[in-house]
Amino acid sequence: MSVEPRLLEVRKNVLKQNDVIARELRERFRTQRTFVVSLVSSPGAGKTAFLEKTLTLLQPHYRVAALVGDLATENDAVRLARSQAPVRQITTGTLCHLEAAMVDNALKEWGIGKLDFLFIENVGNLVCPSSYDLGENLRLVLLSVTEGEDKPLKYPTIFNSADVAVITKMDLAEAVEFDEETVKANIQAVRPGMRHFAVSAKSGVGLQEYLQFLTARIAEPMQQEPA
Protein backbone atom coordinates (compact mmCIF):
# COMPACT_ATOMS: atom_id res chain seq x y z
CA MET A 1 0.00 0.00 0.00
CA SER A 2 1.39 3.39 -1.00
CA VAL A 3 2.03 5.99 1.70
CA GLU A 4 2.84 8.84 -0.68
CA PRO A 5 -0.34 10.91 0.03
CA ARG A 6 0.45 10.89 3.76
CA LEU A 7 4.05 11.94 3.10
CA LEU A 8 2.85 14.77 0.90
CA GLU A 9 0.46 15.93 3.61
CA VAL A 10 3.22 15.94 6.23
CA ARG A 11 5.53 17.85 3.89
CA LYS A 12 2.85 20.45 3.18
CA ASN A 13 2.26 20.94 6.91
CA VAL A 14 5.98 21.31 7.59
CA LEU A 15 6.39 23.89 4.83
CA LYS A 16 3.29 25.77 5.95
CA GLN A 17 4.58 26.04 9.50
CA ASN A 18 7.98 27.11 8.20
CA ASP A 19 6.37 29.87 6.14
CA VAL A 20 4.48 31.16 9.19
CA ILE A 21 7.70 31.49 11.19
CA ALA A 22 9.54 32.96 8.18
CA ARG A 23 6.90 35.69 7.84
CA GLU A 24 7.27 36.51 11.53
CA LEU A 25 11.04 36.69 11.15
CA ARG A 26 10.78 38.90 8.07
CA GLU A 27 8.50 41.33 9.90
CA ARG A 28 10.91 41.41 12.85
CA PHE A 29 13.86 42.07 10.57
CA ARG A 30 11.90 44.78 8.75
CA THR A 31 11.02 46.51 12.02
CA GLN A 32 14.64 46.32 13.17
CA ARG A 33 15.85 47.45 9.74
CA THR A 34 18.15 44.45 9.47
CA PHE A 35 18.88 43.30 5.92
CA VAL A 36 19.12 39.51 5.82
CA VAL A 37 21.11 37.63 3.20
CA SER A 38 21.08 33.84 2.91
CA LEU A 39 23.68 31.84 1.01
CA VAL A 40 23.11 28.45 -0.60
CA SER A 41 25.48 26.26 -2.58
CA SER A 42 26.72 22.72 -2.98
CA PRO A 43 29.52 21.57 -0.63
CA GLY A 44 32.92 22.92 -1.59
CA ALA A 45 31.68 25.89 -3.63
CA GLY A 46 33.60 28.36 -1.48
CA LYS A 47 30.59 29.65 0.44
CA THR A 48 32.38 30.03 3.77
CA ALA A 49 35.46 31.71 2.30
CA PHE A 50 33.21 34.11 0.38
CA LEU A 51 31.18 34.92 3.49
CA GLU A 52 34.29 35.39 5.64
CA LYS A 53 35.61 37.91 3.13
CA THR A 54 32.22 39.66 3.00
CA LEU A 55 32.06 39.95 6.80
CA THR A 56 35.67 41.13 7.02
CA LEU A 57 35.11 43.91 4.48
CA LEU A 58 31.75 45.04 5.88
CA GLN A 59 32.50 44.74 9.58
CA PRO A 60 34.46 48.02 9.95
CA HIS A 61 31.58 50.03 8.48
CA TYR A 62 28.39 48.12 9.32
CA ARG A 63 26.94 46.11 12.18
CA VAL A 64 27.08 42.56 10.82
CA ALA A 65 26.63 39.03 12.15
CA ALA A 66 26.26 35.53 10.73
CA LEU A 67 24.43 32.30 11.41
CA VAL A 68 25.99 29.23 9.84
CA GLY A 69 24.42 25.82 9.38
CA ASP A 70 26.28 22.52 9.30
CA LEU A 71 25.34 18.89 9.77
CA ALA A 72 27.85 18.11 12.52
CA THR A 73 30.81 20.44 13.01
CA GLU A 74 31.49 24.03 14.07
CA ASN A 75 34.39 24.40 11.65
CA ASP A 76 32.69 27.04 9.49
CA ALA A 77 31.73 29.16 12.51
CA VAL A 78 35.35 29.11 13.71
CA ARG A 79 36.51 30.29 10.30
CA LEU A 80 33.91 33.04 10.09
CA ALA A 81 34.79 34.31 13.57
CA ARG A 82 38.15 35.42 12.15
CA SER A 83 36.25 38.33 10.59
CA GLN A 84 35.65 39.72 14.11
CA ALA A 85 31.90 39.69 13.45
CA PRO A 86 29.53 37.85 15.83
CA VAL A 87 28.91 34.30 14.57
CA ARG A 88 26.66 31.52 15.83
CA GLN A 89 26.60 27.91 14.64
CA ILE A 90 23.41 25.96 13.95
CA THR A 91 24.06 22.20 13.96
CA THR A 92 21.29 20.45 12.04
CA GLY A 93 22.18 16.82 12.72
CA THR A 94 20.52 14.75 10.00
CA LEU A 95 18.71 17.66 8.32
CA CYS A 96 20.28 18.79 5.06
CA HIS A 97 18.95 22.36 5.28
CA LEU A 98 18.13 25.17 7.68
CA GLU A 99 14.54 25.94 8.65
CA ALA A 100 12.99 29.18 9.85
CA ALA A 101 12.47 27.76 13.36
CA MET A 102 16.22 27.06 13.62
CA VAL A 103 17.00 30.67 12.73
CA ASP A 104 14.40 31.89 15.21
CA ASN A 105 15.83 29.73 18.01
CA ALA A 106 19.42 30.72 17.24
CA LEU A 107 18.58 34.41 17.49
CA LYS A 108 16.88 34.10 20.87
CA GLU A 109 19.00 35.39 23.75
CA TRP A 110 21.97 35.96 21.46
CA GLY A 111 22.27 39.54 22.61
CA ILE A 112 23.86 40.86 19.41
CA GLY A 113 21.80 44.06 19.39
CA LYS A 114 20.70 45.86 16.26
CA LEU A 115 22.28 44.81 12.98
CA ASP A 116 22.60 46.31 9.54
CA PHE A 117 23.25 42.91 7.95
CA LEU A 118 22.58 39.36 9.09
CA PHE A 119 24.02 36.61 6.90
CA ILE A 120 22.72 33.05 7.01
CA GLU A 121 24.94 30.36 5.53
CA ASN A 122 22.86 27.30 4.75
CA VAL A 123 24.03 23.69 4.78
CA GLY A 124 25.85 22.70 1.59
CA ASN A 125 22.98 21.44 -0.56
CA LEU A 126 21.33 22.62 -3.78
CA VAL A 127 18.05 20.72 -3.34
CA CYS A 128 16.35 20.98 0.06
CA PRO A 129 17.10 24.67 0.87
CA SER A 130 15.07 25.79 -2.15
CA SER A 131 11.82 24.95 -0.35
CA TYR A 132 12.52 26.69 2.97
CA ASP A 133 12.03 30.42 3.39
CA LEU A 134 14.23 31.76 6.21
CA GLY A 135 12.78 35.26 6.32
CA GLU A 136 15.67 36.62 4.25
CA ASN A 137 15.55 39.69 2.02
CA LEU A 138 18.02 38.29 -0.47
CA ARG A 139 19.04 34.75 -1.37
CA LEU A 140 22.37 34.16 -3.08
CA VAL A 141 23.10 30.91 -4.89
CA LEU A 142 26.81 30.21 -5.30
CA LEU A 143 28.53 28.00 -7.84
CA SER A 144 32.27 27.64 -8.25
CA VAL A 145 34.26 27.47 -11.45
CA THR A 146 35.39 23.98 -10.45
CA GLU A 147 31.81 22.63 -10.58
CA GLY A 148 31.27 23.10 -14.29
CA GLU A 149 29.06 25.39 -16.35
CA ASP A 150 25.91 23.25 -16.27
CA LYS A 151 25.07 23.65 -12.58
CA PRO A 152 22.05 25.92 -13.24
CA LEU A 153 20.63 23.38 -15.69
CA LYS A 154 21.06 20.52 -13.21
CA TYR A 155 19.51 22.39 -10.27
CA PRO A 156 16.98 24.83 -11.77
CA THR A 157 14.77 24.97 -8.66
CA ILE A 158 17.41 26.54 -6.43
CA PHE A 159 18.27 29.09 -9.11
CA ASN A 160 14.60 29.95 -9.51
CA SER A 161 14.22 30.43 -5.75
CA ALA A 162 17.34 32.62 -5.46
CA ASP A 163 17.70 36.30 -6.30
CA VAL A 164 21.36 36.53 -7.33
CA ALA A 165 23.95 34.06 -8.62
CA VAL A 166 27.56 34.31 -7.47
CA ILE A 167 30.31 32.55 -9.41
CA THR A 168 33.16 31.83 -6.99
CA LYS A 169 36.85 30.90 -7.24
CA MET A 170 37.42 32.99 -10.35
CA ASP A 171 41.15 32.87 -9.61
CA LEU A 172 40.97 29.23 -10.78
CA ALA A 173 38.90 29.88 -13.91
CA GLU A 174 41.76 29.73 -16.39
CA ALA A 175 43.30 26.63 -14.82
CA VAL A 176 40.05 24.65 -15.06
CA GLU A 177 39.14 26.12 -18.48
CA PHE A 178 35.93 27.61 -17.11
CA ASP A 179 33.67 29.25 -19.69
CA GLU A 180 31.95 32.20 -17.99
CA GLU A 181 29.82 33.05 -21.01
CA THR A 182 28.37 29.53 -21.05
CA VAL A 183 27.44 29.58 -17.37
CA LYS A 184 25.90 33.04 -17.77
CA ALA A 185 23.80 31.71 -20.65
CA ASN A 186 22.74 28.72 -18.54
CA ILE A 187 21.74 30.99 -15.66
CA GLN A 188 19.65 33.12 -18.00
CA ALA A 189 18.06 30.02 -19.55
CA VAL A 190 16.81 28.96 -16.12
CA ARG A 191 16.15 32.40 -14.62
CA PRO A 192 15.93 35.17 -17.26
CA GLY A 193 17.17 38.50 -15.96
CA MET A 194 18.97 37.02 -12.94
CA ARG A 195 21.91 39.14 -11.86
CA HIS A 196 25.26 37.46 -11.32
CA PHE A 197 28.65 38.35 -9.89
CA ALA A 198 31.93 36.61 -10.71
CA VAL A 199 34.21 36.82 -7.67
CA SER A 200 37.28 35.45 -5.96
CA ALA A 201 37.63 35.58 -2.20
CA LYS A 202 41.35 34.91 -2.68
CA SER A 203 42.27 37.54 -5.26
CA GLY A 204 39.47 39.99 -4.50
CA VAL A 205 38.23 40.18 -8.08
CA GLY A 206 34.57 41.19 -8.32
CA LEU A 207 34.13 41.80 -4.59
CA GLN A 208 33.81 45.58 -4.74
CA GLU A 209 31.03 45.43 -7.32
CA TYR A 210 29.23 42.83 -5.21
CA LEU A 211 29.62 44.84 -2.00
CA GLN A 212 28.39 48.02 -3.69
CA PHE A 213 25.30 46.14 -4.80
CA LEU A 214 24.79 44.75 -1.30
CA THR A 215 25.24 48.01 0.60
CA ALA A 216 22.94 49.83 -1.81
CA ARG A 217 20.16 47.40 -0.89
CA ILE A 218 19.95 48.51 2.76
CA ALA A 219 18.97 51.99 1.59
CA GLU A 220 15.91 50.57 -0.16
CA PRO A 221 12.54 50.11 1.60
CA MET A 222 12.37 46.62 3.09
CA GLN A 223 9.61 44.30 1.97
CA GLN A 224 7.51 42.18 4.30
CA GLU A 225 7.44 39.39 1.75
CA PRO A 226 10.16 38.24 -0.66
CA ALA A 227 10.09 39.73 -4.14
Tell me the domain boundaries of the chain: 4-217
Rounded CA-CA distance 74/35 in Å is: 24
According to CATH, the topology of domain 4-217 is Rossmann fold (3.40.50)
Rounded CA-CA distance 132/20 in Å is: 11
Please write the tens of the pLDDT for every residue from 200-214: 999 999 999 999 999
**What is the pTM assigned to this prediction?**
0.90
**What distances in angstroms separate CA 172 from CA 131, 146, 208, one per listed residue?**
31, 8, 19
Q: Which of 13, 15, 28 lies closest to 133, judged by CA?
A: 15
The DSSP bridge partners found for residue 40 are 141
Please write the tens of the pLDDT for every residue from 130-146: 999 999 999 999 999 99
Mean pLDDT along residues 48-64:
96
Most confident of 36-40, 79-83, 91-95: 36-40
Residue 220: pLDDT band with limits 50, 70, 90: confident
